[in-house]
Amino acid sequence: MKKTATLLTLLSLVGVASFVPAVSSEPVPAQSKIIGGVDANRGDWPFMVRVAPSGVDVNLGLGCGASFLGDKYILTAAHCLDFQKDNKIADPSNIDIYVGIYDLDNPTQALPVKTYYVHKDYNSKTMHNDIAIIELENSFSGSRVELQTKPYAFVPNANLSVAGWGVIDEVTKQTPTILKEVKVPFVDTLTCQAAGGSYLDVDDSSFCAGLRSGGKDSCQGDSGGPIVNQDGKQVGVVSWGVGCAQPGKYGVYTNTVELGDWIDGHSSGINYSQFLLADSRTGVYHFNVPIKNDSRDELDIRGAVYANGITVSNNSCVGVIPAGTECSFDIHVDAGVAITDKKGAPITIRAQHGAKMIDLDMAVRDAKYKEALSWPSNDISWPRGGDSGGSTSLGFVILSVLAFFTRRFK
């Protein structure tokens, strides 16, 4: 089963038993592997990124894949950072980013993370909108991925290429240190949905790829990594599947072509903290919320929508915020009224940035940062399980606990 590679903050886990996930009718994030692939040529994936837990050797194979968008931004999967099932999220300070890495035994420089942005409509049950942007502390000079933009039509059966450091053998759980890649054909939505079960959830925010006969696939640990078309342009992010390279089952990928506007809006130089954490769903909480315009364009705040139970004061985020400046506002949150589910109490700031309208999506949540010793070894937080069970080695459990990386079980 493919599993979602989850970057946890388990930097001090000791003695974790191997885990066998329960049989489920739900999709699970991708497992850590490329199945049926080969060593990638050095230099073919210069924009490849490894997202890994801070303070842990990256060659342990723990983490998620991702791609470098340029400047300060990394594109990955939402399920690598947001554990809705457990009502927990990744701590940005416990994530390291390795841009342009090829051999895990010879890693590139570890780069610290400032924050990240998860799609506001990410759903861990359906895996819709399984996409996120990580913002680095500082700009980085490196080869960036080219994103396929609209208009674009996927061609049925045309080969796509996906890469990662996931397990290369589903039985032994052996993981490579050299980047692997595999070619898988695009599968149209109706054919994919005909596989039934979780595949009925595939919508415009995702697409399928793989062989009906099985044998080639991405999997856990490949979560968040890029899949590119024959022009070398990224068209998707590794998301989920049922099993790994199983006959009649396909890999499912977040559709970055369809979500291009969201990607642009969250990698354009506007910095803020998306999640404001309350201790519980009771009591009143106060937060100061800064928004910094690190871009070259003005940010024109046009309006804001707040959940019931949230009041605003001392608001300087009104009108034009010049490039290189910041504004802030205070919010007072009646948690009992405002926070009604694990996604929290939403706040949406609507603004014009350059020629585009963007939404700055925030939420007050009663979530906690994922802590190592609080992670139950028998409850790996995959968004939705696959149609069949699978086993996870000690190394993968530590991965999931040490990192925030998963890819849904296929």
Q: Which of the residues are catalytic?
A: 79, 130, 223
Whether cis (ω within 30° of 0) applies to the bond prior to 92 is: no
Tokens of 200: 């009925």
> What is the spatial distance between Cα 157 and Cα 229, in angstroms, rounded to a whole number?
12
> What is the spatial distance between Cα 72 and Cα 276, in angstroms, rounded to a whole number?
22
> What is the spatial distance between Cα 376 and Cα 370, in angstroms, rounded to a whole number?
11
> What is the spatial distance between Cα 272 and Cα 290, in angstroms, rounded to a whole number?
6
Exposure string over 166-192, b if 16+ CB within 10 A, otherwise e: bbbebeebebbeebbbbebbbbeeeeb
Candidates 59, 132, 149; CA nearest to 89 is 132
Candidates 145, 147, 116, 142; CA nearest to 131 is 116
Partners of 184 in beta bridges: 160
Helix/strand/coil percentages in the chain, nearest 5: 10, 40, 50
3 state DSSP class of 59: helix
> What is the spatial distance between Cα 386 and Cα 392, in angstroms, rounded to a whole number?
14
3 state DSSP class of 282: coil
User: How many helical (H) and strand (E) elements, i.e. helices and strands, does the chain have?
Assistant: 4, 30
Strands 275-277 and 356-365: parallel
Amino acid at 100: G
Amino acid at 147: L
3 state DSSP class of 313: strand
Phi-psi region of 265 (alpha: psi -120 to 50; beta: other; left: phi over 0): alpha
150 CB contacts (<8 Å, ≥6 apart)?
257, 260
Quick count: other Cβ atoms within 10 Å of Cβ 335?
Answer: 22
3 state DSSP class of 172: coil
